[in-house]
Amino acid sequence: MTLYQDSSADAMAAITRVHREEWARIVAGLTRRFGDLDLAEEMTADAFAAAVEHWPDHGIPPNPAGWVTTTANRRAIDRLRREAHRDDKHREAIMLHDPEPAPPVGVIEDDRLRLLFICCHPALPLEGRVALTLRMLGGLTVAEIAHAFLVQDTTMGQRISRAKAKITSAGIPFTIPAAEDLPARIDGVLAVLYLVFNEGYLATGPDMPPIRRELTAEAIRLTRLTRELLPNDPEVAGLLALMLLTEARSAARVSADGELVRLDEQDRGAWDRVLIAEGLQLLDAAPSIRPGRYLLLAAINAVHVTAPHARDTDWARIVTLYSRLEEVDPSPIVTLNKAIAISEHDSPDVALAIVDRLADRLDGFHAYHATRAELLRATGRSADARSAYDRAIELAGNAAETAHLIRRRNQLATPNGAPS
């Protein structure tokens, strides 16, 4: 009985790993073959369901990702053969066995990057493009995507469904984008890549590892490929620089005990200086006139990584950069981060007044309450800080961040004067 349980646990762990690492590649490959996004997603999901049924009893196959890919393709072909009214698709499925060379892939050779540009069709609203692509390509759950957009799960599910319906009703083709189509789709592509990277850098699921390196690595890889396609686009360079400067700190981001480590407490000797040098070089080469969102975010990160110690951080520069970012990309999240910089440069009281004005828009966002807790703590309002920490802990979806918030809360004095 124990051996079977161990085998079953190993099988489920393998399925989880393959789903996390290969979902996007499998969906992208099926979409290229069949030109049908719904079919690609559904058959990939069916193949993983088949693995759940098959692997615990029969063992993990030698090539787990290949098994899922083959199963998904076979099920897609069987589905198309059964649907007599889809004769054209049926013929396309039969042609998969034709020994003739595959059709050209156009200017984008990578399957996943091609799917990314296809899903970011300008006929879809930007939020719909981003949400759909995160689901299809990033393999993120509806809940994870909803968290990234600060909306309810049901709202995000409806948004993704509407994007799929729009593709069908408008007859949007899953054709390979031509070179001249790329600039019109780049905003959505960059937004998706950034959100995928962020999900990897601080995963939202309670059962996920604190950092999902397969997501951060894939986001960086796809951004590098995007830069090869659009080498003169400053925002592509800015996003790549931002990712590299952020990823460079990842080794110091989580403690040995699994707790999130704040930037000012990180071991800067553990930062990856090769990635930092590459990110700074990208920034130096980018035009400084009218920088966009990603260049400004990269510039903010550059201030942090070039400070020898936390106390050497040029907070005045960071406040200025956030002010420029508010002009380019006004959002409550930008203002929240600017307030953190203001607390360091000016005072926590000034910053707290700014943060409190964001309550209506960010009350359901854990980082809002975590920031407010730190500011209340700095102003000596321990009881209020404790309440804010409690709310942040309630909303946090990452175990490492939750552990950090609990420790910070427990350091506060209780009404009897002792730490809790």
Q: What is the DSSP track for 193-249? A: HHHHHHHHHS---TTS-SS-HHHHHHHHHHHHHHHHHSTT-HHHHHHHHHHHHHHTT
Q: How confident is the model at residue 205 (pLDDT cuts 50, 70, 90)?
A: low
pLDDT averaged over every residue in the chain: 84
Q: How many residues does the chain have?
A: 420
For residue 387 the two structure tokens come to: 């309440």
Residues 414 and 420 sit within 8 Å (Cβ to Cβ):
yes
Q: Is the pLDDT of residue 159 over 90?
A: no
Q: So what's the pLDDT on residue 104?
A: 45
Rg of the chain on CA atoms, in Å: 24
Looking at 51-65, 95-109, 225-239, 336-350, which range is the least confident one? 95-109
User: Residue 176: what pLDDT?
Assistant: 60
DSSP 3-state assignment of 357? coil
Looking at residue 154, what is its pLDDT? 86
Band (pLDDT 50/70/90 cuts) for residue 188 is confident
pLDDT of residue 295: 96
Q: By percentage, how much of the chain surpasses pLDDT 90?
A: 42
Selection from 296, 347, 352 nearest residue 323 by Cα:
296
Evaluate if residue 45 carries a pLDDT over 50: yes
Return the pLDDT at 1. 37
Read off the pTM.
0.76
As a whole number, mean pLDDT of residues 246-266 equals 93
Q: Per-residue pLDDT for 101 more than 50?
A: no
Is residue 362 within 8 Å of residue 336, measured between CB atoms? yes
Determine how many CB atoms are found less than 10 A away from the CB of residue 206: 10
Are 351 and 375 in contact, with CB atoms under 8 Å apart?
A: yes
Q: Which tokens belong to 377?
A: 């703590």
**pLDDT value for 240:** 97
Listed in sequence order, the residues at least 6 apart from 221 whose beta carbon sits closer than 8 Å to its beta carbon are none
| 254 φ/ψ angles, rounded to the nearest 5 degrees | -125, 135
Q: Looking at residues 335-339, what average pLDDT do you find?
A: 97
Residue 60 has pLDDT above 70, yes or no: yes
- Average of pLDDT values for 9-22? 83
Neighbour-count burial of 109, counting CB atoms closer than 10 A to its CB (0-12 exposed, 13-18 middle, 19+ buried): exposed
Average pLDDT over residues 57-86: 84
Average the pLDDT over each of 150-159, 316-325, 385-394 and give the range with the smallest value.
Answer: 150-159
